[in-house]
Structure 1
Amino acid sequence: MQISMTALRFKPTLLAALVATSVFQSAWAVEPFVLKDIRVEGLQRADAGTVFASLPFRVGDTYTDDKGAAGLRSLFATGLFKDVRIQIDGNVVVVVVEERPVISRVEFVGTKEFDKEALVKALKDVGIGEGQPFDRALADRAEQELKRQYLTRSLYGVEVVTTITPAERNRVNVTFTVTEGEITKIKSIRITGNQAFTESTLLSQLDLTTGGWLTWYTKSDQYARSKLNADLETLKSYYLNRGYLEFKIESAQVAISPDKQDISIAINVSEGPRYVVTGVKLEGDYLGKEGAFRQLVSIKPGEAYRADTVAATIKAFTERFAAFGYAFARVDFRPELDREKGQAVAVLVAQPQRRVYVRRVNVAGNSRTRDEVIRREFRQFEAAWYDGQKIKLSRDRVDRLGYFKQVNIDTVEVPGTADQVDLTITVEEKPTGNLMLGAGFSSAEKFTLTGSIKQDNVFGTGNYLGVEVNTSKYNRTIVVSTVDPYFTDAGVSRSYDVFYRTSRPLSTQGGDYKIVTPGAAVRFGVPFTEYDTVFFGAGVEQTEIKGDVGLPVSYRRHRDIFGEQSLSVPLTVGWARDARDSTIAPTQGRYQRVNLEVGAAGDTRYVRGDYQAQQYLPLTNRFTIGLNGEVGYGRGLAGKPYPVFKNFYAGGLGTVRGFEQSSLGPVDIEGAYVGGNRRINLNAELYVPFPGAGNDRTLRMFGYADAGNVWGEDEKLKLSDMRASVGFGISWVSPVGPLKLSYGKPIRYKDQDKIQKLQFQIGTAF
């Protein structure tokens, strides 16, 4: 027998309890008596102890009608019983129950959009799950919850039918049959009331769009109330940043077609007059430092009112107050408007409130990362005066660890005190493993693959562990690295590298030779400022040249001088500063690094240095220019030649795209590309929104221009030898890391150069 449930029903529990209580009181009133026994009848699955525990009377107590009514209410409240009766047999109370059926199995039919596990979890939240008592009202709520889940995916035409199938031993199977229907798409978005800007200009600011050729990826044509609210705020910000101080959104209406396949959105705006700021006034208490605060004002008289400059000024003021310990300072913006002239005076009213100090710093949300890993990044100490700048720096340092999706710090007043606060830093963990892949195809190497597996937060300790592998025909490498960022309490880091490299320069002639280099290194990083780190370390490398057929002359010369095996003991020192706003998809900021390596002991003596700088410039909120420059230089010391295996290389990914990897520079008489002791590398990229992707920065197009080369010791460095290429590509922040697919064309090259137009990489910016 099957019972189909498609209509809403009254929840029976409360109704049954009220009816039972009413009947009991009116028809079964008894004189109080002393209980000699209590019996329970009708139990199948529930434990008798559950019934006895719910009754407000025990054997030996005086039984009354009030206690009986309370017992009925208590038993119904357990949700285990469909009906409960109390019968009196002399001095014995008989509790007769009829149990609710228990859900044996929950099944879904026709569900394609969601995994079964996600739906099972959603229904458990409303009381429907295997092993739970069945309630018809809960089944109706489950239908509504399923529909709500589908509405979040823009499936407004979804239909859900619940089928209850009785099973043996008072059990039921619950089956939800879902007809998902088609995804409801946005058919039109209209903006009315606008006069200063065209409708197309305003629509381009919104993330929601009508259908396009890329909306299958961006899903921007799928309606969600949260997305619309965000777009309305974007629209408001657009006007407020262009002088329309009194701009308002009068209404935002959403209409769905009868077949629930199309959605139309109508937004009505009121622009109001455009205001120009004529002056800035500071009112209130500025702690006698009004001059210092006035220097923080970014509102410029003579220009149109901009809400973002007002917000930036208020933020700067509150941060300055916080730096003095005033955690709850208020700065209000009260404009004085002249509507006839379209002029406004920006009035900032400050109330510093009271000075406080931090009693305790709490850490929350770190399910994997240890507390000490977070706390050691803090620059605001407990029992010290509240310092907003140190708190912001602390938040930024924790965020820069890269272990968390979000990092927030909340300030909470300590109850019963006027000058104490607690800080709670709340983090949201994210996977800290990283997979990096790079590949290319050429006639010489065919398909080559490089990759690495890294874990930046091993076992929540904050330590780094990485394995890098290169399967290239000419360069095979395996490197195991580990870093302890807090080797000392002062923040000095320590890293170990163990590697085994087998390489052979790219050659047109082939050969059976190879250069094998096992080695190890240790390096320490000393933070000199909050943003600058100096590195120094030492290593040991043994280089062995195996084989002879096709061996380049430069390697043959090295073997003649140092033998088949040569030992190097390089000492390294370096400096790095990273001020980019993102390491994955930066839009502004600068990154710099310098590295110097000196062969101070062993068979070889040399010095090798390189410098790299990156600069990102936002042209608009959607267009960004990225610039990268790198120079390198090496030479031999103590009258010994510069080791050929320390040469720089150019061409391919990370240098000059459009040319095969490591194919630029000097060519040995054996046809091998052996690199050089000097390198120049320049890159420029212009990022633009991907057509149809709206403001999504995870998917962008770019055009690039690269230039560079390497020069040997016997060559004169001439800029006329520089190779150059231009091209375009796609940048996507994929689940496994940033991906770049580029197609390039050399514009400055020589006939002997090896061309590789199509290349891609995952895991690096340039």
Structure 2
Amino acid sequence: MQGMRGGSIRRSLGWLAAVVLLVASAAAGAFEPFRVEAIRVEGNVRITEGTVFSYLPVQVGDRLDEEAAAGAIRALFRTGFFEDVRLERDGATLVVVVRERPAIGAVEIEGNRAIPTDELKKSLKDLGLAEGRVFDRSLLERIRRELERQYLSQGKYAARIETEVEPLERNRVAVRLRIREGEAARIRAIRILGNRAFTDEALLDRFQLGPKGPFAWFSKRDQYSRQRLAGDLETLRAYYMDRGYVEFAVDSTVVTLTPDRGSVFITIRVREGGRYRVGRVRVVGETVVPREELEALLTVAQGEVFSQRAVTESADAIAERLGVEGFAFANVNPVPELHREAGTVDLTFFVDPGKRVYVRRVEISGNTLTRDAVIRRELRQPEGAPLSTEAVRLSRTRLQRLGFFEEVNVETPRVPGSPDLVDVRLTVKERPTGNLIASVGYSDTQGVIFSGSVSEDNLFGRGTRLKLQIDNSSSNRIYSLAYDNPYYTLDGVSRGFSLNSRRTDAAEANVSDYSTDVDGAEIHWGVPVTEEDRLRFGIGAEATRLHTFSTSPQEILDFAAATGSSFTTYRLELAWTHDSRDRAFFATTGLYQRVGLELAVPGSDLTFYKLAYDLRWYRPLTRQLTFVGKLGVAFGDGYGDTASLPFFEHFFAGGVRSVRGFDGNSLGPRDSTGDPFGGNLRVVTNLELVLPLPGMADNDAVRVAGFVDVGNVFDTDGAGFDPDALRASAGVALNWFSPIGPLIFSWATPLRSEPGDETQSFQFSLGFAF
């Protein structure tokens, strides 16, 4: 190891010895200055003569003396290519004799677990140790120290790195790193000194680090990490600053390691200072927009306890508002002024809008299938106009809602030499939008399912959708064709149509014993009202044939006797949708609402209507945890000559997509044979906490959720709505966009049930969209 550390010293001594030898030779009369008529290189293997000549400060025709010779040797040693350099004379020819340093033939790493090999090799390459490069022993000590530093940052104080150099043929070497990581030092205790306002428990509960609890077998909370401790100290500071302790400071942090390097004790000494309230609040400077409008954005108010988070949010809100006006690089600087005796903090928000910035070009990259026009029609930031941060944000959101892209990144770099110009650079990463699926699946309510479908959500890169689907299960046989053009007109009016043929055996779906054959067609239009609101209008026709059996309940037999078994229905659909979600699937923020009316218009064999309201509210609680609240209410009834909602249009509840923990379609009224009959009123609400699967935070295809479901189906012509009849359940669910299609798994236990309810703890569905 000492020889490795001395590599740099030996290199320096090498050229020094060569120079001394030259001087000694000159003193003895062996070296005399001469004019170089030719130069020859000897001893080189990999290094070409041209490379040596490029570094040699001596050329043909130069006069070589002791000083020039010493300079030539130093120049060649500085390249790092050679272990030895000598200058000899052959008449008027200068002979440069070199011995090359070996090349690195292989880099081998053993014993690493905490740091992946690829990451280690990248770090080594950055330090100059990689296959094909010239080997320099002086690097080994620096590499050893750097790797030990990386392990120390992970709390592995016992980590040791040994290096070994093995000669190979053709003047190469293999460098082998043997790593003994050891165990990470475990935190035994964290003490906070100087805190009076809050207890140790209240503060340490917010730390990522700490002693492991008795039931946290797989937790890494007690593994010391310098970076995580720094994050915890910042969390501690933010906790105090958000509660009025403006002068809070961490005076010292002492990390004590036991002699065996296995246990860590952390002592944090803090200085709380006094608690302050907000005094006078002002907004000054060139506000651009009315000052009153900016003051209304402030989330701090006189008399409230000071909060650094509220101050930061207020400054960001002002900057964002100015960004809407084109002042994209506005500077809002909140300056506090403390009055210790009064215990107040005056806040002055200094506003410097800077120059209004304009967009020179909007550049799009990364799209290999999707046409530029499809992307540009979603953009709300035009070229040549002032840059609006709100328009840029909305453009990105609209592109994410398309479902065509895995990632959408936006940058606004300044144009060099033009301080008031920027370019908007959109970089997208496309995801496959076409599917060719032939699969066999199983659903707890539909049994074995054969499904085959061809779909393309971005047909020919034009943004249009086409889907041909065939599903065959014990309860349904479906053939459908659907097409939709979201930009039938340049204003964003959509138009689409669908054709379908559906055969349903209701008994196989866990409801009354009957079957229907339905053939239908529909055409619909969508009209944008605002960026987030849309109206839908559709017309269609259906032919329904009802089949009854000897086992059918009396209610259905009476219906068929009174109305017949074949019906033609002309449908009218009206709907309003509001969608402010950040994405279509696994949204983390925003609101989705839909109010829809389906009307079987006069002239149909049966006249009825169905009203539905759907609400989904998404609110991020942390960076990864999202609260989702859902409410669905649907009501239907007959009108004209139709006394009530036809039974084959009834609503059902229970199962993996409504009230989990209860068998599919099993809730609500039952027919005279005891089978589920559905009803004309359905009320279902779901409350969920959604987060990525632990260890897969970067995977956008998998989410787990804890949930509470409440709901039921009612017959308003009979018992009517009864809140006491609502069923409830709680459990966990897994949603996965797998390579073979979407999968839903849930485990639930009823919280509120009645005797006779059909419960089902584990439920799943394969091959159906959610």
- Give TM-score, length-normalised by structure 2: 0.78
**Letter of the aligned partner of 2:662 in structure 1?**
F
**Letter of the aligned partner of 1:749 in structure 2?**
E
Residue of structure 1 in register with 2:421 after alignment: 421
Indicate if the aligned counterparts of 1:509 and 1:670 stay in contact, CA closer than 8 A: no
**DSSP 3-state at the match of 1:125:** helix
| Greater Cα shift, 67-76 or 239-248 | 67-76
Deviation for aligned residue 1:457: 8.3
| Distance in 1 (alpha carbons) for counterparts of 2:550 and 2:63 | 107
Change (3 A) 1:52 1:594: farther
Residue of structure 2 in register with 1:685 after alignment: 687
Residue of structure 2 in register with 1:15 after alignment: 12
Change (3 A) 1:562 1:44: farther
**DSSP 3-state at the match of 1:87:** strand
**Letter of the aligned partner of 1:663 in structure 2?**
S
Residue of structure 2 in register with 1:745 after alignment: 750
Indicate if the aligned counterparts of 1:651 and 1:657 stay in contact, CA closer than 8 A: yes
Residue of structure 2 in register with 1:186 after alignment: 187
Residue of structure 2 in register with 1:756 after alignment: 760
After superposition, give the CA deviation of every residue in 1:174-204 in whole Å (9 maximum; x if it has no partner): 3222222223333222222111111111112
| Distance in 2 (alpha carbons) for counterparts of 1:553 and 1:39 | 111
**Letter of the aligned partner of 1:421 in structure 2?**
L
Identity of aligned residues (%): 34
For structure 1, the 5+ residue unaligned runs are: none
**DSSP 3-state at the match of 1:707:** strand
Residue of structure 2 in register with 1:257 after alignment: 258
Within a 5 Å distance, the mapping from 1:118-157 to structure 2 comes to: 118-151=119-152, 153-157=154-158
**DSSP 3-state at the match of 1:194:** coil
Indicate if the aligned counterparts of 1:636 and 1:643 stay in contact, CA closer than 8 A: yes
Change (3 A) 1:389 1:746: closer
Within a 5 Å distance, the mapping from 1:278-289 to structure 2 comes to: 278-287=279-288, 289=290
Indicate if the aligned counterparts of 2:609 and 2:637 stay in contact, CA closer than 8 A: yes
Residue of structure 2 in register with 1:629 after alignment: 631
Indicate if the aligned counterparts of 2:463 and 2:485 stay in contact, CA closer than 8 A: yes
Change (3 A) 1:689 1:545: closer
| Distance in 2 (alpha carbons) for counterparts of 1:560 and 1:69 | 116
Deviation for aligned residue 1:465: 8.8
Deviation for aligned residue 1:219: 3.2
- Tell me, yes or no, if structure 1 residue 653 matches structure 2 residue 651: no
**DSSP 3-state at the match of 1:659:** coil
Residue of structure 1 in register with 2:341 after alignment: 340
Change (3 A) 1:140 1:674: farther
| Distance in 2 (alpha carbons) for counterparts of 1:98 and 1:385 | 64
Deviation for aligned residue 1:34: 4.8
| Distance in 1 (alpha carbons) for counterparts of 2:550 and 2:105 | 75
Indicate if the aligned counterparts of 1:513 and 1:549 stay in contact, CA closer than 8 A: no
**Letter of the aligned partner of 1:682 in structure 2?**
V
**Letter of the aligned partner of 2:666 in structure 1?**
S
| Distance in 2 (alpha carbons) for counterparts of 1:518 and 1:733 | 32
Within a 5 Å distance, the mapping from 1:195-594 to structure 2 comes to: 195-212=196-213, 219-287=220-288, 289-361=290-362, 375-398=376-399, 403=405, 407=409, 409-410=411-412, 412=414, 414-417=415-418, 420-425=420-425, 474=475, 490-491=491-492, 503-506=504-507, 525-536=526-537, 572-580=573-581, 589-594=590-595
| Greater Cα shift, 22-31 or 636-645 | 636-645
Indicate if the aligned counterparts of 1:35 and 1:63 stay in contact, CA closer than 8 A: no
Change (3 A) 1:515 1:344: same
Deviation for aligned residue 1:236: 2.0
| Distance in 1 (alpha carbons) for counterparts of 2:126 and 2:456 | 35
- Tell me, yes or no, if structure 1 residue 111 matches structure 2 residue 112: yes
| Distance in 2 (alpha carbons) for counterparts of 1:520 and 1:493 | 17
After superposition, give the CA deviation of every residue in 1:410-436 in whole Å (9 maximum; x if it has no partner): 463x55445x1314557685978999x
Indicate if the aligned counterparts of 1:441 and 1:756 stay in contact, CA closer than 8 A: no
**Letter of the aligned partner of 1:660 in structure 2?**
D
Find the partner of 1:33 among 13, 32, 35.
Answer: 35
Indicate if the aligned counterparts of 1:433 and 1:453 stay in contact, CA closer than 8 A: no
| Distance in 1 (alpha carbons) for counterparts of 2:155 and 2:369 | 35
Change (3 A) 1:100 1:726: same
**Letter of the aligned partner of 1:15 in structure 2?**
S
**DSSP 3-state at the match of 2:182:** coil
**Letter of the aligned partner of 2:316 in structure 1?**
K
**Letter of the aligned partner of 1:94 in structure 2?**
V
What's the C-alpha RMSD, in Å, of the aligned pairs? Answer: 5.5
| Greater Cα shift, 603-612 or 319-328 | 603-612
**DSSP 3-state at the match of 2:127:** coil
Change (3 A) 1:40 1:659: same
Indicate if the aligned counterparts of 1:184 and 1:222 stay in contact, CA closer than 8 A: yes
- Give TM-score, length-normalised by structure 1: 0.78
**DSSP 3-state at the match of 1:234:** helix
For structure 2, the 5+ residue unaligned runs are: none
Change (3 A) 1:227 1:575: farther
Indicate if the aligned counterparts of 1:24 and 1:69 stay in contact, CA closer than 8 A: no
| Distance in 2 (alpha carbons) for counterparts of 1:424 and 1:107 | 45
| Greater Cα shift, 263-272 or 123-132 | 123-132
Deviation for aligned residue 1:326: 3.3
| Distance in 2 (alpha carbons) for counterparts of 1:562 and 1:504 | 20
Within a 5 Å distance, the mapping from 1:5-84 to structure 2 comes to: 8-11=5-8, 15=12, 18-19=15-16, 22-23=19-20, 26=23, 31-36=33-38, 38-52=39-53, 54-55=55-56, 61-62=61-62, 64=64, 72=73, 75-76=76-77, 79-84=80-85
Indicate if the aligned counterparts of 2:366 and 2:430 stay in contact, CA closer than 8 A: no
After superposition, give the CA deviation of every residue in 1:496-532 in whole Å (9 maximum; x if it has no partner): 8788866533559999997677888776654321212
Residue of structure 1 in register with 2:88 after alignment: 87
Indicate if the aligned counterparts of 1:20 and 1:72 stay in contact, CA closer than 8 A: no
| Distance in 1 (alpha carbons) for counterparts of 2:512 and 2:418 | 80
Change (3 A) 1:606 1:302: same
Residue of structure 2 in register with 1:662 after alignment: 665
Indicate if the aligned counterparts of 2:212 and 2:219 stay in contact, CA closer than 8 A: no
| Distance in 1 (alpha carbons) for counterparts of 2:137 and 2:252 | 40
**Letter of the aligned partner of 1:707 in structure 2?**
G
**DSSP 3-state at the match of 1:254:** strand
**Letter of the aligned partner of 2:168 in structure 1?**
A
Indicate if the aligned counterparts of 1:506 and 1:663 stay in contact, CA closer than 8 A: no
| Distance in 1 (alpha carbons) for counterparts of 2:654 and 2:547 | 26
**DSSP 3-state at the match of 1:755:** coil
Change (3 A) 1:451 1:682: farther
| Greater Cα shift, 659-668 or 48-57 | 48-57
Deviation for aligned residue 1:453: 12
| Distance in 2 (alpha carbons) for counterparts of 1:537 and 1:32 | 100
| Greater Cα shift, 447-456 or 304-313 | 447-456
Change (3 A) 1:642 1:320: closer
Change (3 A) 1:763 1:336: farther
| Distance in 1 (alpha carbons) for counterparts of 2:761 and 2:460 | 42
| Distance in 2 (alpha carbons) for counterparts of 1:47 and 1:569 | 86
Deviation for aligned residue 1:592: 0.7
Change (3 A) 1:170 1:686: closer
Change (3 A) 1:486 1:384: same
Paired residues, number: 752
**DSSP 3-state at the match of 1:660:** coil
Change (3 A) 1:390 1:109: closer
After superposition, give the CA deviation of every residue in 1:600-657 in whole Å (9 maximum; x if it has no partner): 8999986544220134578999998754221224567997897766543211223222
**DSSP 3-state at the match of 1:577:** strand
| Greater Cα shift, 698-707 or 41-50 | 698-707
| Distance in 2 (alpha carbons) for counterparts of 1:192 and 1:146 | 34
| Distance in 2 (alpha carbons) for counterparts of 1:452 and 1:220 | 47
| Greater Cα shift, 389-398 or 230-239 | 389-398
**DSSP 3-state at the match of 2:594:** strand
Change (3 A) 1:74 1:220: same
Indicate if the aligned counterparts of 1:5 and 1:163 stay in contact, CA closer than 8 A: no
